[in-house]
Amino acid sequence: MTFEIKGWCPGALRPMMSGDGLVVRVRPHAGRFSAAQASGVAQAAREYGSGQIDLSSRANLQLRGVRPESHGALLSALAALGLLDPDALAESRRNIVVSPFWSEKGLERILAEELETALASSNIVLPGKFGFAIDCGRERVLDQVPADIRIERGAGQCLIVRPDGAECGLAVKASEASATALAVAKWFVESGGMTGGRGRMAAHMRNGATLPHALSGGIQPVVPARQPQPGYTAGGVLVGVPFGSMHADTLEELARRAPELRMTPWRMIFLPSAHEMPAGLDLVTRADDPLLRVEACTGAPWCPQACSETRSLARQLAAFVPEGATLHVSGCAKGCACSRRAVTLVATASGFGLIPNGTASDHAVVTGLSASQIISDPALYLGGS
């Protein structure tokens, strides 16, 4: 089985063609959409696309099924909402994930704005997937989220800038953080971290790259927190979006119920200041919802590389996945939805393969399974009894 690895992320100005039309990624500023912006994005998704919206693992929204002839009008709508970068290069550089749990008194928003400005005014060319994380709460919540340069809290709650893969970071004042992060990014490029438009910081560090003295520090970051779960949290409510995919109507309804929506990299949306769980929508509102135990990629008919539908099968199997386990249903061996080991069902041209504990590209111990065969005896295949 072969599959295509693109090595870059779609944007609004540089969309990616998929089986259902263009995928147009919308990057909020500081991870935040105002209710008016979220409502505008929902309307644009219906008017210029299929109305289907995905949450990306970089805390962005992706509008699916956009017709190529409507792309220009969609860009105008996004520009009117303040969600369009000046050009595709600036857009690709603005790859910043922000911890969603910031308060107006915190540093996150201002750091994100300063880093956006520093990146926009630089002429640096970074690999397509290179990104930054701003994670400076008392505990780190973006520890498991891919990012190449991190602005975090260190021991004593000082601010540090840490390249991914380094154990320690450099203590900085808040006013120096964005310039230091940009300097580390420039060092990455100049020291040979990027080849053929690709490259990641952790691999560069593993390969023995050494930061210059002025950019290296000895401060360890604070301990990571457990991954947040849907439910009530300090400061608001966190809702899960099944498989990270929702209809524009759901986004619009959320925008009616909250003044602000913060995107997360966990297929969840944080509603700051909300006191009530949004009811009556296809959302995950409890930490024990079985849908949290399943992962499934876009699958057929939307992805041209998919050998099967995936999400309906995953929904039907969710209740049978043992607590603490994860079931991953993948439309092909690329495994876009889940890179960690799990009970994996991978679609091929001749049925599903079962990998009891691995990734979608691992060897299947049983092959040629049909969806109905698996549904008829889930415990046999998922190890539930």
60 scored as a contact of ligand SF4 (CB under 6 A): no
Residue with token string 């990270």: 244
Distance CA(367)–CA(351), nearest Å, equals 7
Count other Cβ atoms within 10 Å, centred on residue 124: 15
- Which of 112, 332, 342, 371 is in the footprint of ligand SF4 by CB under 6 A? 332
21-29, 277-285, 292-300, 351-359 -> range binding ligand SF4 (CB under 6 A): 292-300
User: Which is closer to ligand SF4, CB of 59 or CB of 347?
Assistant: 347
**Following DSSP, what letter does each residue of 84-118 receive, concatenated?**
--SSHHHHHH--EEE-S---TTSSHHHHHHHHHHH
Query: Which range binds ligand SF4 by CB under 6 A, 100-108, 188-196, 325-333, 362-370?
Result: 325-333
- Our finding on whether 305 is near ligand SF4 (CB under 6 A) is yes
Cα angle: 315, vertex 59, 190; to 5 degrees: 130
Among 51, 127, 335, 378, binds ligand SF4 (CB under 6 A): 335
Of 162 and 334, nearer to ligand SF4 (C-beta) is 334
The residue from 62, 92, 330, 359 that contacts ligand SF4 (CB under 6 A) is: 330
Check residue 265 and report its DSSP letter: T
CB of 316 to ligand SF4, least distance (A): 18
CA-to-CA distance for 133 and 142, rounded, in angstroms? 7
Of residues 216 and 339, the one with the C-beta less far from ligand SF4: 339
Distance CA 34, CA 262 (A): 9
Name the residue type at position 202.
A
DSSP 221: B
- When the beta carbons of 170 and 297 are compared against ligand SF4, the nearer one is 297
Specify which residues 150 forms β-bridges with. 133, 162
Binding of residue 311 to ligand SF4 (CB under 6 A):
no
φ/ψ of 331, rounded to 5, equals -75, -15
State the nearest-atom distance from the C-beta of 383 to ligand SF4, in Å. 22
Q: Answer yes or no whether residue 245 interacts with ligand SF4 by CB under 6 A.
A: no
Query: What are the backbone angles phi and psi of residue 53, rounded to the nearest 5°?
Result: -130, 130
**Residue 382 zone, left/alpha/beta (φ > 0; ψ -120 to 50; rest):** alpha
By CB under 6 A, the count of residues binding ligand SF4 is 13
Q: Which of 133, 145, 303, 321 binds ligand SF4 (CB under 6 A)?
A: 303
Residue nearest to ligand SF4 (CB): 331
Q: Does 294 bind ligand SF4 (CB under 6 A)?
A: no
Give whichever of 151 and 303 is closer to ligand SF4, judged by the CB atom.
303
The site string for ligand SF4 over 2-41 (x = CB under 6 A, - otherwise) reads: -x--------------------------------------
Task: State the pairing for strand pair 96-98/294-296.
Answer: unpaired
What's the min distance (Å) between Cβ of 296 and ligand SF4? Answer: 8
| Structure tokens belonging to residue 317 | 């199997």
For ligand SF4, give the closer residue by CB, 248 or 346: 346
Is-contact 105 137, C-beta < 8 A? Answer: no
Per CB under 6 A, residues contacting ligand SF4 are 3, 297-299, 303, 305-306, 330-332, 334-336
